[in-house]
Amino acid sequence: MKKTKKLLVMAAAMALAACTLTACGGASSKGGDTLTFGTNAEFPPFEYVTSSGAIGEFDGIDMAIAKQIAEDNGQTAAIENMEFDSLLVALQNGQIDAVIAGMTATDERRETVDFSTPYYTATQVMIVKEDSDIATAADMADKKICVVQGYTGEVCVQDMGYSYEAFKKGTEAVMELTNGKCDVVVIDSATAQKYVGDNEGLKIVEDPSAFESEEYAIAVQKGNTELLDKINKSIDKMLADGTINELAVKYTEETTAE
């Protein structure tokens, strides 16, 4: 009898430990007062680290949107900053409630997560040196191309059949370009503008016939319709009343003005 009781206590303790490990109803939303967003704060004007941002040290268009979504639901937004490649895994593990990271809603990603209503339209562009002869995507054929690992820009260049070098951060790829070690960086338009504003001697080359437009959306766990509905309500409101437009203007100016 004594032994059974001990076993039961142990089983209960183990269940509890398992629960905290998988965060059942713990840090994750499910009615809690914190809504935890995962991001990769290496992507101005959408997310970057600064002294005092919209959410703690994190600022940018996405951070302001995340803050508002949480507020609309009587919650506080928290940010978990991680590598871009880790975001969808962290979402599936329940480590974060949602991903807001200038993330393009692609069919491939839709296989593992659900996406909100899109809130921003972007496209891939090419950053080159001012004197570059690259005028179209096809001109990249015999050039040294740099991309950021896991970004849709990498997928585009891959699909075009070109070889390339992938970096962990946009700033690293751009440094390679300014140092003359690569000829072109393929990356999202608004972020490219920011980098061109920050670095002398660079320009943007667009090729809309080669790069399709992309839509940024917030990702939630597959089937989490409760959270998705809340997020969509907030986004719809912010799209309709011009909030997202204003944020885009504000942060684009702010981050290119420095």
Q: Which residues bind ligand ARG (CB under 6 A)?
A: 39-40, 42-43, 47, 84, 101-104, 151-152, 188
- Token output for 26: 């713990």
Distance, CA of 21 to chain centre: 25
Please report how close the Cβ of residue 216 comes to ligand ARG at its closest, in angstroms: 6
Judging by DSSP bridges, how do beta strands 98-99 and 34-39 pair with one another? parallel
Tell me the closest approach of the beta carbon of residue 166 to ligand ARG, in angstroms.
12
Cα distance between residue 54 and residue 67, in whole Å? 7
Closest contact distance (angstroms) between CB of 189 and ligand ARG is 10
**Closest CB to ligand ARG among residues 88, 238:** 88
- Closest to ligand ARG by CB, 39 vs 234, is 39
Shortest reach from residue 116's CB to ligand ARG, in Å: 14
Q: How far is CA 247 from the centre of its chain?
A: 16
- The nearer residue to ligand ARG, 100 or 182, going by C-beta atoms, is 100
Burial of 56 (C-beta count, 10 Å sphere; 0-12/13-18/19+): middle
Q: Least separation, in Å, of the C-beta of 109 and ligand ARG?
A: 8
Nearer to ligand ARG, 39 or 193 (CB): 39
Taking the least distance from each CB to ligand ARG, the nearer of 30 and 189 is 189
Distance CA 194, CA 254 (A): 10
Q: How far is CA 104 from CA 73, 92, 99, in A?
A: 24, 17, 11
Rounded-to-integer distance, Cα 241 and Cα 112, Å:
31
Minimum CB distance to ligand ARG smaller for 40 or for 75: 40
- Whether the CB-CB separation of 168 and 148 falls below 8 Å is answered with yes
CB-CB neighbours of 106 under 10 Å: 14
Q: 153 is written with which tokens?
A: 């820009």
| Nearest approach, Cβ of residue 247 and ligand ARG (Å) | 16
